[in-house]
Amino acid sequence: MPKHIVRLLSVIAVLAIIALSARWYFKDSSFYQYGHYRGNAPAEIASKLPKHQGSASCQSCHKAVYAEWSAGIHRKATKDNAVPGIVVKSGPNCEVCHTAAGNHPSKEPMPLSVEDRMTTITHSHDHVHASNVPGRKLLLTPDEMRGMCMACHEKMQGRPSTQPQVVIDAHAGEELCVTCHNPHSPKINFDKVPRMVAMKKAEVGNAATGKTVSANCATCHGTTGVSASGAIPNLAGQKQVYLSNALRAYKSNARSNGIMSAMASALSDSDIENVSAYYAKNSCKAPSADKGKAAAGKAKYAASGCASCHSSGGLRNPGLAGVSASQAWPNLAGQNAEYLVSALKAFQEGNVKANQDGARYHAIMTNVAKTLSASDIENLAAYLASSNCR
């Protein structure tokens, strides 16, 4: 064979050997096992861990809330049998609003893979709340809270008529959905939603009768509800539902204070409604305050998100500072600064397991108060105390 042919063939042979060994080296041994792909790939893909754990996984710890949900319309298969013979679950389960549980609870508090959502609002547990996680938002604004509900219930072209839908401004104005609806079981049952019980009763509260009941309160809170001392809260012009809720909380010891619990336990349910109605209609009076502190407080009020709840306009519209949007939340404008300071400090001390004198736990207020320094509290109190209360 001519020399040049031999050379050519040997070059080809060498290239072939290189090609074959490269193929042997680079090709995964499981390639072509089941087809033109790596046979190990399906098992690798299947080995990923699920992030959505399903409502059943919430049930073991959150029994009460799970029971509430499963009895309610958000669990009910409202549209089952719309197509005969098909049984599919219907209604949002836990992770629709709360987002995927992920590693919760073994490794994380309710961990929000996309962004913090509902936990700061709805969970009154001593979890590490999202407020303590850097970069997480402290609170949902009223718009965001309502947005959770509006994702499914906003009246929109294209939504099937079987879906309950509302035009939010006409339906609720500035009020939050949760004032009337329990998101876990949103059909309003007046006997089961405490705020609704309060609101319903509030309508029958009689201010004139309440005035006679208020005689017992006048020693500390003043005859019209402008109190005798800075440490004691003004009641004049306060939200009626807030007042009756507070009295009921004192009566049941859900909120404890030696004097108030004793006073409230002497009141009947109708006394509570009547006296609340009486104080709510009285006019309030804003005390004067240190202007420097008030200015600093005004900035802090805006920065801390107080306006989400304690402003007549919410965050969406400019409103009166310290005048709450909801009947169930207190007005702060014109309140005594000394009382406001002690209340914020009590919230700071608050712990879900110990709700005694000098400490108040509230899922939202405790988290907010923990972000405030002592001077922040002084400033906020001075600002709110000097704000116009009506």
171 binds another protein (CB under 8 A): no
- What does the alpha-carbon distance between residue 1 and residue 5 come to, in Å, rounded to a whole number? 7
- What does the alpha-carbon distance between residue 386 and residue 292 come to, in Å, rounded to a whole number? 12
**Residue 257 amino acid letter:** N
- What does the alpha-carbon distance between residue 366 and residue 350 come to, in Å, rounded to a whole number? 6
318 binds another protein (CB under 8 A): no
Q: Which one, 11 or 82, has the nearer CB to another protein?
A: 82
Q: Which one, 168 or 344, has the nearer CB to another protein?
A: 168
Per-residue binding string, another protein, 24-63, x by CB under 8 A, is: -------xxxxxxxxxxxxxxxxxxxxxx-x---------
Q: Among the candidate windows 91-99, 217-225, 252-260, 336-344, which touches another protein by CB under 8 A?
A: 91-99
Q: Which one, 111 or 233, has the nearer CB to another protein?
A: 111
Q: Among the candidate windows 17-25, 112-120, 129-137, 379-387, which touches another protein by CB under 8 A?
A: 112-120
Q: Which one, 4 or 107, has the nearer CB to another protein?
A: 107
Q: Smallest distance from the beta carbon of 58 to another protein, in angstroms? A: 13
* Closest CA relative to residue 117, chosen from 87, 96, 88, 92: 96
Which region, left, alpha or beta, applies to residue 135 given φ > 0 means left and ψ of -120 to 50 means alpha? left
Identify the bridge partners of residue 112 per DSSP, sorted by sequence position.
Answer: none
Q: Smallest distance from the beta carbon of 186 to another protein, in angstroms? A: 12
Specify whether the CB–CB gap between 294 and 266 falls below 8 A. Answer: no
* Closest CA relative to residue 66, chosen from 104, 93, 30, 34: 93
Q: Smallest distance from the beta carbon of 28 to another protein, in angstroms? A: 8
Among 147, 287, 313, 319, the residue binding another protein under the rule CB under 8 A is 147
- What does the alpha-carbon distance between residue 267 and residue 362 come to, in Å, rounded to a whole number? 25
* Closest CA relative to residue 138, chosen from 130, 127, 146: 130
- Give pairs for 85-94: CB < 8 Å, separation 24+: 92/152, 93/54, 93/55, 94/55, 94/58, 94/66, 94/69
How many chain residues touch another protein (CB under 8 A)?
A: 56
The residue with tokens 């959505």 is 52
Q: Among the candidate windows 108-116, 239-247, 277-285, 362-370, which touches another protein by CB under 8 A?
A: 108-116
Q: Among the candidate windows 14-22, 72-80, 185-193, 199-207, which touches another protein by CB under 8 A?
A: 72-80
Q: Which one, 97 or 320, has the nearer CB to another protein?
A: 97
135 binds another protein (CB under 8 A): no
Contact footprint for another protein (CB under 8 A): 31-52, 54, 77, 79-80, 82-93, 95-96, 99-100, 113-115, 147, 151-152, 154-160, 163
